[in-house]
């Protein structure tokens, strides 16, 4: 009989496939709906998918595809998303936001007996979050301006004394989405939590920090530090570092994320809440270069490029106390993630230089800019 049927939208992807593996191990039946986005999968089902998964090729924002996929389902993980930071703004909303509205529209209008929806949000919804000035205390930081960034001024300054401020941990009650992706993720939160409550459909949102591990796509334009640094350093080339490399981030392993997904599915106390899912420890980008060097047993120096990504935050470190109180904590380190990724990537047949291709696209579309007078 099993524990029920779960639909994972975007289940052929990185987080979805690991979540599927864990759900199967726990006795659920897993269905996935995925359009095999060209950028991520080259249009093919990836070979890491468990043969017990029921695979449906379709678009999550297409009424007929989602309606068909919801037949007979008990639980939904809504993970499908458009994620690069390219300036095709409307696509973020037509995929991420519309699909979420459509999901609740179908559940309500077609009376699908869905017991819970868990959806993927992102740490990006915080924007810069709050900063602490040693003299003037806590303040909310707005967007860093292009004028400042173009001069190589990376840090967030206190609005009163203009001194460099330090980042506060990001906590769930705040939000300030500052780019196309994070606005689409935040609207997704509003839709899911509002309709979830209104129509009594238990719903949980998870704001993942940077997720890392095997199966992370090496094809899309944005996806980050693990892919770019590892692919470069495996060829003996210096990893290109944005800004000055002193940005703080927290990194969480995909197997820990899959555990968080399944936990909130099973815990009633999680309903109608959002939770940060992060690594619980801050690392600079330069620290991350050292971790990759450690795993590869190399000593490659980073290349500080004085370039930056438009819409990026200076520092982002999530507070994970709320999900810890449900009984989850991260069990793996960034080093574990790099090891798993290196093992996996070495078995992949990379047909071209995806990193160079992505960089060219990001530069051509103005997503990466160079500071004029680096400091």
Ligand X SMILES: NC(=O)c1ccc[n+]([C@@H]2O[C@H](COP(=O)([O-])OP(=O)(O)OC[C@H]3O[C@@H](n4cnc5c(N)ncnc54)[C@H](O)[C@@H]3O)[C@@H](O)[C@H]2O)c1
Query: For residue 106, what are the contacts with CB-CB under 8 A and spacing of at least 6?
Result: 63, 66, 67, 70, 112
Q: How far is the CB of 232 from ligand X (least distance, A)?
A: 19
Q: 327-331 contacts: CB < 8 A, separation 24 or more?
A: 327/263, 327/267, 328/256, 328/259, 328/260, 328/263, 328/277, 329/280, 330/252, 330/253, 330/256, 330/278, 330/279, 330/280, 331/253, 331/255, 331/256, 331/259
Q: Which is nearer to ligand X, 80 or 183 (CB)?
A: 80
Q: Could you tell me the smallest distance in angstroms from the CB atom of residue 112 to ligand X? A: 18
Contact 115, 74 (CB under 8 A): yes
Smallest separation (angstroms) from ligand X to the CB of 361: 16
| Residue 117: strand, helix, or coil | strand
Nearer to ligand X (CB atom), residue 139 or residue 344: 344
Specify the residue, 13 or 334, whose C-beta has the smaller distance to ligand X: 13
Residue with smallest beta-carbon separation from ligand X: 13
Residue with tokens 């936001």: 97
Instruction: Give 40 or 221: the residue with its C-beta nearer to ligand X.
Output: 40
Nearer to ligand X, 214 or 295 (CB): 214
Site of interaction with ligand X (CB under 6 A): 9-10, 12-16, 33-37, 40-41, 59-61, 79-83, 95, 120, 122, 208, 210-211, 217
Nearest approach in angstroms of CB 258 to ligand X is 10
**Shorter beta-carbon distance to ligand X: residue 15 or 107:** 15
**Residue 248 structure tokens:** 């703080």
- In the chain the beta strands, taken as DSSP E runs, fall at 5-9, 29-34, 54-57, 75-78, 116-122, 130-133, 137-140, 166-167, 203-208, 210-212, 240-241, 248-249, 251-253, 273-277, 283-284, 303-304, 307-309, 368-370
CB of 30 to ligand X, least distance (A): 14
CB of 81 vs ligand X, minimal distance in Å: 3
| Distances in whole angstroms, Cα of residue 42 to Cα of each of 6, 52, 99, 350 | 25, 22, 22, 12
Least Å distance between CB 82 and ligand X? Answer: 6
| Least separation in angstroms between CB 69 and ligand X | 9
Query: Please, what is the minimum distance in Å from the beta carbon of residue 110 to ligand X?
Result: 19
Closer CB to ligand X, 14 or 28, in the complex:
14
DSSP three-state, residue 227: helix
Q: At what angle do helices 180-198 and 98-109 cross, to 10 degrees?
A: 10
Strands (E), 234-312: 240-241, 248-249, 251-253, 273-277, 283-284, 303-304, 307-309
Q: Closer to ligand X at the Cβ: 17 or 300? A: 17
Nearer to ligand X, 117 or 120 (CB): 120
């Amino acid at each position: 009989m099993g524990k029920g049927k779960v639909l994972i939208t975007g289940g052929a992807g990185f987080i979805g496939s690991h979540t599927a593996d864990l759900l199967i191990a726990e006795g659920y039946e897993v269905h996935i709906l995925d359009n095999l986005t060209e950028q991520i999968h080259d249009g093919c089902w990836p070979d890491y998918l468990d043969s017990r998964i029921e695979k449906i090729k379709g678009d999550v924002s297409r009424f007929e595809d989602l309606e068909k996929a919801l037949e007979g389902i008990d639980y939904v993980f809504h993970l499908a998303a458009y994620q690069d930071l390219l300036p095709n703004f409307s696509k973020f909303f037509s995929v991420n936001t519309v699909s979420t509205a459509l999901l609740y529209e179908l559940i309500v209008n077609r009376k699908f007996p869905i017991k819970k929806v868990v959806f993927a949000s992102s740490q990006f919804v915080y924007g810069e979050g709050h900063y602490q000035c040693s003299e003037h205390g806590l303040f909310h930081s707005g967007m860093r301006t292009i004028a400042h960034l173009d001069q190589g001024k990376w840090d967030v300054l206190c609005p009163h004394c203009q001194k460099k401020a330090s980042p506060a941990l990001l906590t769930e009650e705040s939000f300030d989405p500052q780019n196309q992706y994070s606005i689409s993720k935040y609207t997704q939160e509003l839709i899911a939590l509002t309709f979830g409550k209104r129509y009594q459909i238990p719903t949980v949102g998870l704001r993942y920090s940077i997720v890392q591990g095997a199966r992370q796509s090496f094809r899309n334009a944005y996806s980050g530090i693990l892919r770019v640094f590892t692919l470069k350093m495996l060829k003996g080339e210096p990893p290109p570092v944005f800004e000055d490399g002193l940005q703080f981030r927290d990194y969480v392993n995909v197997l820990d994320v899959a555990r968080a997904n399944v936990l909130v599915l099973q815990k009633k106390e999680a309903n109608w809440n959002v939770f940060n899912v992060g690594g619980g420890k801050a690392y600079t980008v330069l620290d991350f270069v050292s971790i990759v060097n450690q795993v590869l047993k190399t000593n490659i120096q980073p290349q500080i490029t004085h370039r930056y990504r438009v819409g990026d935050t200076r520092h982002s470190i999530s507070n994970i106390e709320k999900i810890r109180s449900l009984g989850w904590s991260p069990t793996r380190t960034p080093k574990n993630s790099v090891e798993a990724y290196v093992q996996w990537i070495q078995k992949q047949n990379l047909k071209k230089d995806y990193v160079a291709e992505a960089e060219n696209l990001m530069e051509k579309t103005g997503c990466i800019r160079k500071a004029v007078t680096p400091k």
